[in-house]
Homo-oligomer: A and B are copies of this chain.
Amino acid sequence: MKAQGQDGRQGGRPGRFLSQVPVEQALDRWFAALEGAGAAALSPPEEVPTGQALGRVLAEPAYALFSSPSYHACAMDGYAVAAASTFGASDTSPVALAMPEQACYVDTGDPLPQGFDAVIMIEDVQELGGGRLEIRAAATPWQHVRPIGEDVAAGEMLLPAGWRLRATDLAVLTSAGLGRVVVRRRPVVAVIPTGDEIVPLEDLGGEAPAPGQIIESNSLLVAGLAAEAGAVAKVLPVVPDDRVALRRSLSEAIACSDVVVLGAGSSAGSGDFSAAVLREAGEVVVHGVATRPGKPVILGVAGGKPVLGMPGYPVSAWLALDGFLRPLLARMLGQAPERRQRIDARLTRRVASPLGVTEYLRVKLARVGGAFVAAPLSRGAGVLSSLVRADGLVPVPAERQGFEAGTTVAAELLRSRESVERTVLAIGSHDMALDVLADLFARTNPGCSLASVNAGSLGGLQALSRDEAHIAGTHLLDERTGEYNVSFVRKNLPGRRVALFCLALREQGLLVSPGNPLRLERPEDLAGTGARLINRQRGAGTRVLLDYLLHLAGVDPASIAGYDRTVYTHLAVAAEVAGGGADAGMGILAAAQALGLDFLPVAKERYELAIPETSWEDPLVQRLLDAASCQAFRDAVSKLGGYDLSASGDVTWVEPEGA
């Protein structure tokens, strides 16, 4: 069972095809099968101290034991009186009362003394001395008295079954005399990570994983989701690709838990025994759902317990947990799963998606010019970081082949709407100084964030032209003028005033293996030698620079091996060289340093933020620029190495032509 394994395809032995059951149908079938097997019971009740019941779900309605207050309580500091003895009192005919027969001093919370039925506030009373008081207004019966049961009457139903307890609930239960409450026991979810290649992080002893080793991390998805749903997870030891071992582990899991999640092993590849083992132990109800990613899901039941086979790729795993484990746990607790809030947003680019499956796009969201935009992130099932960075999920319905750019789509929020509204969205060129800025911005402006989507310099300017981002990082060299960015801004944002805020001058160079084994000096040295380049995508400023340098040297790019193989960030270039997949790539010093590579400087370039006037006027963007202008930012970027901060903070306004 290939953990972090195959996804979305029929693999393995010929003829072993997965089904494509729509998600809702799959869930219904599973729940029906669980009911049939007596495995769909509500989690049993247990009694816990009220003070420890925050977030727990009531298994029974809670009835008040005592009234609150349990006596007629004085609600003011002052004097208890019999209202009848004050009738007629006014400024012109004050009434005098004798203590203690006719009036009696009380503090707030004191019981109303016998024979009295009202309280007069202390500031409305004149003490005459000699144990006498004067009042100048009549008291109405029961004024400033909290009668028995004002808050809670004994016997009253305080909260119904199925209620999730909040702080205020605990306080009212306690004040009604309930020191313990009957709640649903937290369901226990056992997780069995599987796969020969899967290794717990702690077993690595600080070393990087060897080729063929994948760090076990999906159990954290299960544990986190379980905790959020009011359950607890029990992570079992990793099971290798061994049918007998998996069978044994499944039995143990069934014995010690209420729900079992089998890690990976849910596609039909050669090492994937989950379905077979589950079939032996119980029943496979669904194997394969019509989603992308996340197809190779197994839903079943064994030993009277629900069993969920989770795909290996982390995004697929999360979707399976979100789509099936979350509703199951809600059901066991007698609750409905909370649906996420939705907002309408304009999709920044065209997305094609196959008919017949529901695809879940991960999107970065921001409010630009008053409307929400959704920028699709990586669609790879293995790219968990895309889920981390996502603000929302956009389902592409099975009956659609995708969305055109500019389509208004409904995004399910993964962060609060408010935090989305406090996000500055940068689409464009990647730079590590942007990460530093994001960190500093969040620190100095709690609740605010800078989100960055890599689309290359040109992609960023085009996004600005469509109002799909607030700012764009850009370092585009005009080969005719030797000037950075200005002509590209003018061309891509015609008719608009745009500021170019210089973040830093930075060195670009060749990233090569330590010791520079091929003795390279300049990009042109790669030509015709068979040395393998890893390149950046079209529209990336770094690629424009490389092309410029090759052009100056009279070298045909086609003569360089790997010229057509591209990645999207400096760090991805560095990782590729460090991993031996390429001999060199263009990038920045910080990326070389991060991965221990040698760096051969070839040019210094101007990395700027392009900011249309509309964004410039946004207070949130101004706060970002404040952060980008402060000494802490300069210090942090200097530490990265390879940056010249002499021009940082310089602003050039690009005026529209003819203006």
Contact = CB atoms under 8 A, between A and B. Distances in A.
A567 interface: yes
Contacts of A477: none
A505 interface: no
Contacts of A210: 70-71
A211 interface: yes
Contact of A122 (B12, B170, B339, B438): B12
A208 B66 contact: yes
Contacts of A339: 418
B269 A108 contact: yes
A502 interface: no
A243 interface: no
A109 B166 contact: no
A315 B595 CA distance: 56
Interface residues of A, number: 143
A572 interface: yes
Contact of A220 (B3, B108, B174, B382): B174
A172 interface: yes
Contact of A221 (B14, B167, B220, B227): B167
Contact of A148 (B77, B337, B447, B576): B576
Contacts of A595: 153-155
B4 A576 contact: no
A340 to B, nearest CB: 9
A208 B177 contact: yes
Interface in A252-273: 267, 269-271
A27 to B, nearest CB: 14
A162 to B, nearest CB: 4
Interface in A198-243: 201-202, 204, 208-218, 220-221, 223-225, 227-228
Interface string A1-24: 011111001111010000000000
Contact of A167 (B209, B223, B594): B223
A169 B388 contact: yes
B174 A217 contact: yes
A178 to B, nearest CB: 8
A187 to B, nearest CB: 15
A150 B387 contact: no
Contacts of A576: 147-149
A537 to B, nearest CB: 14
A69 interface: yes
A513 interface: no
A12 B122 CA distance: 7
Contacts of A71: 209-212, 579
A125 to B, nearest CB: 10
Contact of A61 (B54, B73, B435): B435
B565 A142 contact: yes
Contact of A160 (B449, B578, B594): B449
A209 B66 contact: yes
Interface in A316-348: 318, 330-331, 334-339, 341
Given A70-B208, A334-B446, A575 B157 contact: no
A586 interface: no
A171 interface: yes
Contact of A51 (B54, B223, B382, B446): B223
A283 interface: no
Interface in A149-194: 149-163, 166-172, 174-175, 177, 179
Interface in A43-78: 50-51, 54, 61, 63, 65-73, 75-78
Contacts of A388: 158-159, 168-169, 172
Contacts of A593: 155
Interface in A118-167: 121-123, 141-142, 146-163, 166-167
Q: Which of A160, A168, A225, A443 has the most CB of B within 10 A?
A: A168
A445 to B, nearest CB: 8
A442 interface: yes
Interface in A74-98: 75-78
Given A160-B449, A384-B168, A571-B156, A76 B9 contact: yes
A65 B594 CA distance: 9
A75 B7 CA distance: 9
A331 to B, nearest CB: 7
Contact of A77 (B2, B107, B108, B111): B2
Given A160-B439, A175-B217, 14 more contacts: A6-B108, A70-B208, A70-B579, A73-B214, A109-B195, A110-B212, A111-B211, A151-B383, A153-B575, A156-B569, A167-B228, A174-B201, A336-B446, A341-B341
8 contacts: A77-B270, A150-B382, A150-B383, A152-B384, A153-B575, A157-B438, A175-B215, A336-B422
Interface pairs A-B: 10 shortest CB-CB:
A167-B224, A336-B447, A155-B594, A149-B575, A153-B571, A148-B579, A71-B211, A111-B211, A157-B435, A6-B108
